[in-house]
């Protein structure tokens, strides 16, 4: 239908993007899947679920990525992904024994930083929707984020990717800082933007750039004044 599109796909995406430095193929798989699931773009999912498994993302991690994105992109986005993943697991012979059994043992929480987060959100939004503030604390940060199937750094990478891909600029500052506190480097964040530009379009990446720029600058300033 479009020889040019086939050409770009082969030369730039397959031949260049995925082998760029600073972000591993495993991380690129995670960023790509987060971008696709956040926008419910089922057409790319079969290929990129397989790419993720080939690049070392485990079935447990895929399952956790989808669960994580149920909260960050809505329940139906997760269900679209589950439908596609069913076919992949069946084709690859991946069964329930390779998935985490409930209940899991939660990772320890950083009480100090969670207390700060919870207090800020309570003060800002308690009177707007106490229900949402409560679920955010109890279900999202004291449960979902502590599940052991993904590292905190990977959960952050998934979250920020979904935010950029779906144009949720207002939520990037908190989550990119959290991601970098969780070990994501500036070079990795820069490459994440490149990856998302291709999979969610240039505008999502460009609309995120001023926010990312401010986060980078603010962290430099804070680091500089820390001594």
Among 52, 64, 91, 226, binds a copy of itself (CB under 8 A): 64
79 binds a copy of itself (CB under 8 A): yes
Q: Measured from the CB atom, is 54 or 106 closer to a copy of itself?
A: 106
Q: Measured from the CB atom, is 180 or 205 closer to a copy of itself?
A: 205
Q: Do 204 and 165 touch, CB atoms closer than 8 A?
A: yes
Among 57, 145, 147, 156, binds a copy of itself (CB under 8 A): 147
For the chain, the distance separating the N- and C-terminal CA atoms, rounded to the nearest angstrom, is 59
Nearest distance from residue 226's CB to a copy of itself, in Å? 21
67 binds a copy of itself (CB under 8 A): yes
Which x/- pattern over 184-223 shows residues binding a copy of itself (rule: CB under 8 A)? Answer: ------xx-xx--xxxxxxxxxxx-xx-xx--x-------
18 binds a copy of itself (CB under 8 A): no
Binding to a copy of itself (CB under 8 A): which residues in 41-60?
41, 43-44
Residue 38 dihedral angles phi and psi, to the nearest 5°: -60, -30
Query: Residues 6 or more apart from 219 whose CB is under 8 A from it?
Result: 177, 180
Q: Do 159 and 179 touch, CB atoms closer than 8 A?
A: yes
Distance of alpha carbon 72 from alpha carbon 163, whole angstroms: 8
Number of residues located near a copy of itself, criterion CB under 8 A: 90
**Per-position b or e across 92-116, b if 16+ CB within 10 A of its CB:** eebeeeebbeeeeeeeeeeeeeeee
140 binds a copy of itself (CB under 8 A): yes
């Amino acid at each position: 239908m479009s020889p040019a599109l086939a050409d770009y796909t082969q030369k730039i995406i397959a031949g260049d993007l995925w082998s760029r430095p600073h972000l591993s193929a495993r991380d690129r798989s995670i960023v790509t899947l987060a971008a696709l699931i956040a926008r419910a773009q089922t057409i790319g999912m079969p290929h990129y679920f397989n790419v993720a498994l080939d690049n070392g993302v485990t079935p447990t991690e895929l399952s956790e990525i989808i669960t994580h994105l149920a909260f960050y992109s809505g329940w139906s986005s997760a269900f679209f992904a589950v439908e596609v993943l069913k076919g992949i697991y069946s084709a690859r012979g991946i069964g329930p024994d390779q998935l985490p059994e409930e209940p899991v043992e939660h990772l320890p929480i950083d009480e100090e930083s969670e207390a700060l987060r919870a207090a800020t959100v309570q003060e800002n939004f308690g009177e707007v929707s106490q229900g949402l503030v409560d679920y955010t604390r109890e279900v999202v940060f004291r449960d979902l984020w502590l599940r052991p199937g993904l590292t905190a750094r990977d959960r952050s990478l998934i979250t920020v990717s979904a935010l950029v891909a779906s144009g949720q600029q207002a939520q990037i500052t908190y989550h990119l800082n959290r991601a970098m506190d969780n070990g994501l480097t500036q070079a990795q964040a820069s490459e994440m933007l490149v990856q998302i530009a291709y999979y969610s379009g240039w505008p999502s990446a460009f609309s995120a750039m001023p926010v990312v720029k401010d986060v980078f600058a603010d962290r430099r300033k804070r680091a500089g004044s820390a001594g």
